[in-house]
Amino acid sequence: MGTCNLRRGISPLQAELEALVWAMQCMLRHRKLTIVFETDCSDVVKMVSKPEEWPAFAAILEEFCRCRMEFTSFSIVHIPRIKNTKADKLARSARVLPTDVFYVNSVPPTWISELA
């Protein structure tokens, strides 16, 4: 579980993709090389499956491909949004904070319960 508030003003789809790359980089830094990422954004799954069909995102998709090569086992799967409520809450909470937020842990931060 992790959160990061990224640059303001980018599209939601670009934010999803950049968040995935950030999460991948975090896992690589922690030497977690066998990983399954879950996302409720079906377009991200499509983008990383066929990056050549998304030329507007070429730079970030190149970074995705570079990171993906470092994993010994990597997969990304689409899950329904209803099964991703904690991650959605974490993302929404990071967006409203005025400072940079980086959070990586196996449990949600204590402040997330205050957002319910």
Cβ-contact 51, 65 below 8 angstroms: yes
- Spatial distance between the Cα atoms of 81 and 88, rounded to a whole number of angstroms: 8
Which pTM does this prediction carry? Answer: 0.74
Q: What is the pLDDT along the chain (116 residues), one digit of tens a residue?
A: 445 555 555 788 898 899 899 999 999 999 999 999 999 999 999 999 999 999 999 999 999 999 999 999 999 999 998 887 777 776 666 666 656 556 666 666 665 565 55
Cβ-contact 73, 35 below 8 angstroms: yes
